[in-house]
Structure 1
């Protein structure tokens, strides 16, 4: 998932709060957590899903993100348990990217994957 997210246009990894996050244009689109889970950090990832939050919340153990991020469509999903196929997870990472990336980068992504901007 990390490699997929970093492959999106102008995505980069940073480590605020001792947590791995993937950003585009200084905005986080994936929280990947910490390497060693602690009492405070559980293994999982958080993405912004304006369209797919309901679907993601149906995953066992998934929940709206804390710190009031859940109100804006952010969902935390556990790395353990019964996760959807990797392609669904990649779709969610891409949806989160599209939700925060500038329009020019979304157009660049569309051109890469043969989306609407490629027409």
Structure 2
């Protein structure tokens, strides 16, 4: 399983998460129809866009990070397009996806995730 598929599987394990494909070449992650991670389609180079209200400033210091286009950057979205030899660790990617999920998910589902983490 490649990195994007692993990340997608992690995202889909979050309460209420589902796939969303609003455009060709996208297979994104959403909760209650609100996207929380933009992922590339099969065969495309690695990229990731997440809403990072807490770690966004820090993440933007990375050379392959930039505010997400279409005005999303103003709302705390960060896009990562690292070269293949500079892709962050899987744990770091999971942290960004989870932070974005928590920013987009209804409070009830975040509480469900917290309860699962505490268990």
- Asked if these proteins are the same fold (TM beyond 0.5), I'd say yes
Match of 2:8 among 2, 9, 22: 2
- Corresponding pairs, count: 111
Pair 1:68 & 2:74 matched:
no
RMSD across aligned C-alpha pairs, in angstroms? 1.5
- Structure 1 gaps of 5+ residues are none
TM-score by length of 1: 0.85
Alpha-carbon distance in structure 2 between the residues aligned to 1:97 and 1:21: 12
- Structure 2 gaps of 5+ residues are 1-6
- State the shift of 1:34 in Å: 2.2
Alpha-carbon distance in structure 2 between the residues aligned to 1:27 and 1:47: 12
Q: CA 1:9–1:79 in 2, change beyond 3 Å: closer, same or farther?
A: farther
Q: CA 1:33–1:16 in 2, change beyond 3 Å: closer, same or farther?
A: same
Would you identify which runs of 4 or more consecutive aligned residues in structure 1 move more than 6 Å?
none
